[in-house]
Chains A and B, each alone.
Chain A
Amino acid sequence: MMPILARWTVLPAGLATAVLALAADNAIDAGHSTIVATLTQMNVPLDAAFSRFSGTIVYDAMHPEAARAAIDVEVGSLDLGDESYNAEVRKAAWLDSAHFPQASFRSTAIKSGGADHFEATGTLSIKGKSQLITVTIAVQRTARSSAFDGSFELYRKTFAVGDPDWDKVLDDKVRVRFHLLVDNPTATAPAQISRS
């Protein structure tokens, strides 16, 4: 259903481009977005969601290579489903949220992959350490909003996250997946016109 919608919005190209260009610097709608880290302990996958994050994703379907993304995540908002677990991962040996309250991603290069996805390369910073990562992001666009979905793997030890005592029960590898929704307020009205 979504690819059809995406095509439908891209087809009236002239109109859509003009509108979407206006809808440029859009803020992530955190209430309708999710960022989930999947940890693996003794081969058991554990999903932990961040509840507080913010940022902007600028994306124009006609000029995807000009897209850019800036996302900040409050690491203290990670919820592993149990308060004692949450308190543990906020400690200095883990995410050290007292000294490094935010993790961030800043795109540095975008490679278009066609109408419905692109590759974003950028700097991932966690606990004061940075790494360049490349993420494939799927775009689903409706008249009202654009949804950006993707996932990537990171190795927590790269960012000095975790106590060595845990290495035998907790994998180094962490998968992060995200669903980020960005409203296109100025796109709403013309889309309704083209639909009628």
Chain B
Amino acid sequence: MTTAYTRTAVALHWIIAALVITAISLGWVMADLEFSPLKLRLFNWHKWIGVTVLALMVLRSLWRLTHPPPAPLPMPAWQRLSGQAIHGLFYLMLLAQPLTGWMYSNAEGVPVVYLGLFPLPNLVEKDKAFGAFVKELHVAGGWVLAVIIGLHLLAAIKHHFFDRDDTLRRMLRWRTG
């Protein structure tokens, strides 16, 4: 069994990480802004990033199904299992979060136009009550992601600096040939 991630897997990990952290930060800031041109602009950027994450996550899921990740490094069972649970939750949330955002926008009567160029189909009809519900889901999803990103970071730091194992390093280099 291989001990390294593919170059594609490593690239997708870091690109999606950067996009998701940007999207959560934008979401955090824009939600409390007064109605203004800046607010609309940030909402659009947030949506475009979300759609990009969704597309990359679909690719990433397919890639992972066809390119198994390296075997887990030796560690206590509870750490391995909780790590796997968090990774499963990441896949679920990173696919679901863009979709709830997209539905929230549509339910509020606002189509999503990717990069201001490509109108995407509406996932749901305009519906105020559903909009309020799916907004709650989207906000809660943001919190879940923030928490699991925090746990993921803490675990990476622990493995790298305390256990001094290869967990973080193998996400910083890739399989060659």
Contact = CB atoms under 8 A, between A and B. Distances in A.
Nearest to A87: B35
B153 interface: no
B169 interface: no
Interface string B6-30: 0000000000000000000000000
Nearest to B45: A42
State the majority secondary structure of interface residues on A: mixed
Classify chain B: how many residues form its interface, as a range.
10 to 19
A81 B35 contact: no
Contacts of B110: 44, 46, 81
Contact of A88 (B35, B41, B109, B113): B35
B108 A82 contact: yes
A133 to B, nearest CB: 26
Contacts of A45: 111
Nearest to A45: B111
B40 interface: yes
A131 interface: no
Contacts of B1: none
Given A84-B35, A85-B35, A88-B35, A44 B41 contact: no
28 contacts: A41-B40, A42-B40, A42-B41, A42-B44, A42-B113, A43-B113, A43-B116, A43-B117, A44-B44, A44-B110, A45-B111, A46-B110, A47-B109, A81-B109, A81-B110, A82-B108, A84-B34, A84-B35, A85-B35, A87-B35, A88-B35, A165-B36, A165-B37, A168-B37, A169-B37, A169-B40, A169-B41, A170-B37
